[in-house]
Structure 1
Amino acid sequence: MSRNFFYGYRIVAASSVIQMMYLGCVFAYGVFFPEFEAEFGWSRTTISGAASLNFFVMGVFGIVIGGATDRFGPRVVLTIAGVMYAVGYLLMYRMTTTWELYLFYGLLCGLGIAAHEIATLSTVARWFIRQRGLMSGIAKAGAGIGQILVPLVAAALVMAYGWRHACLLIGVVALIVIVAMAQLMRRDPAGLGLRPLGAEKNGTGAVEHTADGLNLKEAIARRQFWILCLAKLSDMFCLFTIVTHIVPHGIDQGLTHSMAVMVLSTIGGCSILGRILLGAAFDRLSARSSLMICFALLLTSLILLQTSNDPRLLFLFALIYGVAHGGFFAVASPSVANYFGTRSHGLIFGVVFFAGTLGGTVGPLLSGKIFDLTGSYDIAFLLLTGFAVFGLLLASGLRPLTAVSQ
C-alpha cells in the first residue's frame, strides 16, 4: 500500500458504490409500483405498506447493525447484509401474493438495507476528522448516482422483459456489487496502523479520535441527541413518502410513466449536488446551520409541489427537493460524530437513524391511505409541509455540546 495514498479514500469509494446499489434499488421500487397495481390490482396502501415495512425493519435492525459494526467491522456486516438484500429481490421474481411482497421486499430487503447507511457512514466518520462532511457527502453521492441510473435501467428492463425479470437481474447485480465492495471496508485506521485524516492536528482533549467520545447511555442524556432523533424522523417522513409516491403522483398529474420516472431520476441527480455541496458546507458550518438549510429547501419544494398546476413543474420541484434530499443524508452522520464522537458512533447513529425510519415507515403508508380515501395527495402533501416546519424549528434549537470536548 502506498504511503502517499490514504486508505480512507478507498473506504469512501467503496461506500459510494455500495450506496449507489442500495439506494438505486430503493428508488427502483417506485418503478415497480404501477406494475404491481396493474397486474395484481393491489391498492396503493398495500404496495406502499411493503415499503413502510422495509423502512421499519431497516430502522430496527439498523441499531443491531450499528453495534455489530462497532464490534466486528463493516466488512463482515456488509457482506451478510448484501446477500440478504439481493436474495429479497431475487425472490420477488416469483411473487404472486401480498404476503410474498411483504416477506421478500418488506422483511428480507429491509434486513439487508439496514447496513447501507450505518456501516458505511459510521466507517467514513472514523477515518476522517478533517473533511468529514465532504467525505460523507461523496460517499452519499453514490446514492444519488444510483437514484438516477437504477430506476432508468429498471424501467428499461420492465419495458423489455417485464417486471419479474427486472427484479431478477437487479438482484444478481446487487449481490455481486455489494459483496465485492464490502471486501474493501475496514473498521478504522488503527487496524492498519494509521490515524484518521486530520487527527494529528487535534488537541489532546478532542473527541475526534477513533476510540473517543460518548457511549449510547451518555448520549441519550443530552438534549442534542433527542433533537437529532426528532429531526431525522421529520425529514425521513417527508423523504420516503416522496420517493415512494412521486411516480404515481406524476402519472396522476398527466405525465407518462417514463416522464414520471424521469422526475424520480432528476431527484437523484440533484441529490448528488446536495450531498457534495452541503456535505462540504458542513465542514465550515455547524450542524445546526446545515440542518436548517436542508429543512428550508425541503419546505420550499413542498410549497411548490402544492401550489403548481403544471405537471412539468414537477421537474423544478425535483431540483429543489433533490438538493435537500441529498443534504439530509450527507450531514446526518457527521452531526452525530461531531456531537458524540466516534467511540460508539455506529450504535448512536443507528438509534438516530431508527428514529428516522419510524417517519419513513409511517409516511408512505399514511400517504397511500390518504390517497385511497380521498383520491388525491393534497392532504398528504400538507402533512409533509407540517413536518418540514417542525424539523426547521427543531434544527434551530441545536446548540454546541461543550461537555464532549472536556
Structure 2
Amino acid sequence: MSLQHERYAPDSSYAWLRLAMALLVGTVACVGTWSVVVVLPSVQAEFGTARAGASLPYTAVMLGFGLGNILMGRIADRYGIVVPIVMGGIFLGAGYVLAGLAGTLWQFALAHGLLIGIGGAAGFSPLIADLSHWFRKHRGLAVVFGASGSYLAGVIWPQVITWGLQNHGWRATHIGIGLTALVVLVPLSLFFRRRPAAEALAAAEASSAGARGDLGLSANQLQLLLSVAGFACCVAMAMPQVHIVAYCGDLGYGVARGAEMLSLMLLLGIVSRIGSGFVSDRIGGAATLALGSVMQGVALFLYLFFDGLTSLYIVTGIFGLFQGGIVPMYAVIIREYLPAKEAGVRIGIVMSATILGMAFGGYISGLIYDLFASYRVAFLNGLAWNLINLAVVSWLMLRARPRLQAA
C-alpha cells in the first residue's frame, strides 16, 4: 500500500507522465482559440463583412472559452478531470462540423461560442487545476507546462490550418479539425481516471490558508483583484495575437507570413512560460507576474515603431518571449493563496477574466482599425490596458513581498 502511495505521490514519476499527457490534451483541445484567427480573412471575404464583424467569431469563441473554464473547472472539482475531457471532445467535434457547414456569419459565430469555445476549455483551466494537485516542489513549473498546451496549439494548428485552407478550403478544414479532436480526446481521457490523494489536498488546504492570512486579503478579494489584472493584461495581449495575421495582410506581406509570425510568437511564448515556471518557484507568482507585465508593455511599445517584414518577425518574437509566462502566473498565485479543493472553479473564474480580456481586446482592436484605418491606435490602446495591469500586480507584489522574504 505504501509503495502505491509513493508511486502516485506529488512530484512522482506518474505526476510527470500525467503532465505530458495533459500537454497533449491541451494542444488538441485549444485549437479553437487559434483556428479562428487564421481563417479571419477568409471568413471576412466569405460573408462580406467588415474587420470588426469578421472578429465576431473570435469574440464568440473566447466568450465560450471563458464560460467553459468556469463550468469545466466546477465539474472537474466535483467529478474529476475525465468528464471535462470527454465533454470537450464531443463539443469540439460537433462545433467544428457545424462551423464548416455554416451558411451565415452568425451561424459560424454561434458554433464557435456555444460548442468550440466551451469544449476547448477542457484543455485549459481544468487541466491546470488538476496538475497543481500532483506537484508540490515544482508546482510553478508544472502549471506553466500545463498551460503551454494552449500555446503549443498556436504553434502547430495555424500551420496545419493554413495548409488546409490552401488545399481544401476553410469548410473542409473545419470538419477535419472536429473529427480529429473527437477521436483523440475521448480515448485519452481514460488515462486521467486516478484522482489526487485526500491527504495531499488537506496539506495544500492548510498551506494556502496560512499564506492568505499573511497576505491580508480574503479569498474573494484576492479573486477579484486577480480577475481585474487578468482582464487588463489580456486586452493588451490580444492586439498582436488576434490581429497579427490581418496586420501582415494589410501591410502587403500576405496572410501566410502573418501565420508564421503567430506561430513564432507562440513558440517563443512556450519558452517564456517554461522560464516563468522556474522563476516563480524561486521568487513567487506575484513577482513573476509583475515582471512579465513590464516586459509585455515594452514589446507593445516596439510595435509602434517597427513595421518592416524583418523587424516585425523580430518584434513578434520579442513579444512572444515577454508575454508567454503572464497568464499561468494567475493559476500559480491561486494555488499559493486560495483553497485547493476549489482550485478548478477559482482558476476557471480568473482564467475566464483573462479570456474575456482577449475577447474584448480582439474586438476593440478590430473596431479601432475600422475607425482609423490603422492599427497604430490599437497598439496604443493595448499599452494603456497594460499599464492598468501593471499597477494592480505591482501592488499585489508589494503585499506578497514580506511573506516571500520570511520564507
Structure 2 length-normalised TM:
0.89
Paired amino acid for 1:83: I
The whole-number CA distance in structure 2 between the counterparts of 1:381 and 1:203 is: 41
1:10–1:184 contact (8 Å) kept in structure 2: no
2:14 pairs, out of 7, 31, 38, with 7
1:125–1:337 contact (8 Å) kept in structure 2: yes
Cross-structure match for 1:274: 272
The whole-number CA distance in structure 1 between the counterparts of 2:25 and 2:209 is: 25
The whole-number CA distance in structure 1 between the counterparts of 2:394 and 2:141 is: 22
In the alignment, structure 1 residue 51 sits paired with structure 2 residue 58: yes
1:11-90 map, 5 Å: 11-90=18-97
User: What displacement does 1:116 show?
Assistant: 2.3
Farther-moved stretch of structure 1 (135-144 vs 26-35)? 135-144
Residues 302-358 of structure 1 deviation map (CA, whole Å, 9 limit, x = unaligned): 001111132322212221211233202332211110011412111211221222233
Cross-structure match for 2:307: 309
SS of residue in 2 equivalent to 1:76: helix
Residues 31-80 of structure 1 deviation map (CA, whole Å, 9 limit, x = unaligned): 11111122222222112112112212222332222221111111012211
In the alignment, structure 1 residue 207 sits paired with structure 2 residue 208: yes
Farther-moved stretch of structure 1 (266-275 vs 51-60)? 51-60
Paired amino acid for 2:369: F
Residues 56 and 401 of structure 1, relative CA distance in 2, 3 Å threshold: farther
The whole-number CA distance in structure 2 between the counterparts of 1:17 and 1:231 is: 29
1:276-295 map, 5 Å: 276-295=274-293
User: What displacement does 1:205 show?
Assistant: 5.0
Cross-structure match for 1:121: 128
Residues 156 and 205 of structure 1, relative CA distance in 2, 3 Å threshold: closer
1:151-230 map, 5 Å: 151-186=158-193, 188-190=195-197, 195=200, 206-207=207-208, 219-220=219-220, 222=221, 224-230=222-228
Cross-structure match for 1:377: 375
1:349 pairs, out of 340, 347, 350, with 347
1:70–1:346 contact (8 Å) kept in structure 2: yes
2:107 pairs, out of 93, 100, 121, with 100
SS of residue in 2 equivalent to 1:397: helix
The percentage of aligned residue pairs carrying the same residue is: 25
User: What displacement does 1:132 show?
Assistant: 0.5
RMSD: 2.7
Paired amino acid for 1:145: L
Structure 1 length-normalised TM:
0.89
Structure 2 unmatched runs, 5+:
none
2:322 pairs, out of 313, 321, 324, with 324
In the alignment, structure 1 residue 110 sits paired with structure 2 residue 117: yes
1:295–1:388 contact (8 Å) kept in structure 2: yes
Residues 267 and 255 of structure 1, relative CA distance in 2, 3 Å threshold: same
Farther-moved stretch of structure 1 (268-277 vs 354-363)? 354-363
Cross-structure match for 1:400: 400
2:88–2:120 contact (8 Å) kept in structure 1: yes
Moved over 6 A (4+): none
Residues 281-316 of structure 1 deviation map (CA, whole Å, 9 limit, x = unaligned): 111112221111211121111001111132322212
Cross-structure match for 1:140: 147
SS of residue in 1 equivalent to 2:325: helix
Residues 204 and 346 of structure 1, relative CA distance in 2, 3 Å threshold: closer
Paired amino acid for 2:161: A
Residues 167-213 of structure 1 deviation map (CA, whole Å, 9 limit, x = unaligned): 1111111112222332222474217xx848xx9xx79952399xx99
Structure with greater helix share of residues: 2
Cross-structure match for 1:337: 335
Paired amino acid for 2:18: I
Residues 12-32 of structure 1 deviation map (CA, whole Å, 9 limit, x = unaligned): 112111221133442222211
1:86–1:171 contact (8 Å) kept in structure 2: yes
The whole-number CA distance in structure 2 between the counterparts of 1:329 and 1:180 is: 29
Residues 40 and 345 of structure 1, relative CA distance in 2, 3 Å threshold: same
The whole-number CA distance in structure 2 between the counterparts of 1:180 and 1:271 is: 29
User: What displacement does 1:139 show?
Assistant: 1.8
The whole-number CA distance in structure 2 between the counterparts of 1:112 and 1:274 is: 26
Paired amino acid for 2:400: P
User: What displacement does 1:402 show?
Assistant: 9.2
Residues 145 and 205 of structure 1, relative CA distance in 2, 3 Å threshold: closer
Size of the aligned set, in residue pairs, is 392
2:30–2:153 contact (8 Å) kept in structure 1: yes
Residues 118-147 of structure 1 deviation map (CA, whole Å, 9 limit, x = unaligned): 210000111111100111122223333221
The whole-number CA distance in structure 2 between the counterparts of 1:203 and 1:296 is: 31
2:285–2:329 contact (8 Å) kept in structure 1: yes
Residues 32 and 204 of structure 1, relative CA distance in 2, 3 Å threshold: closer
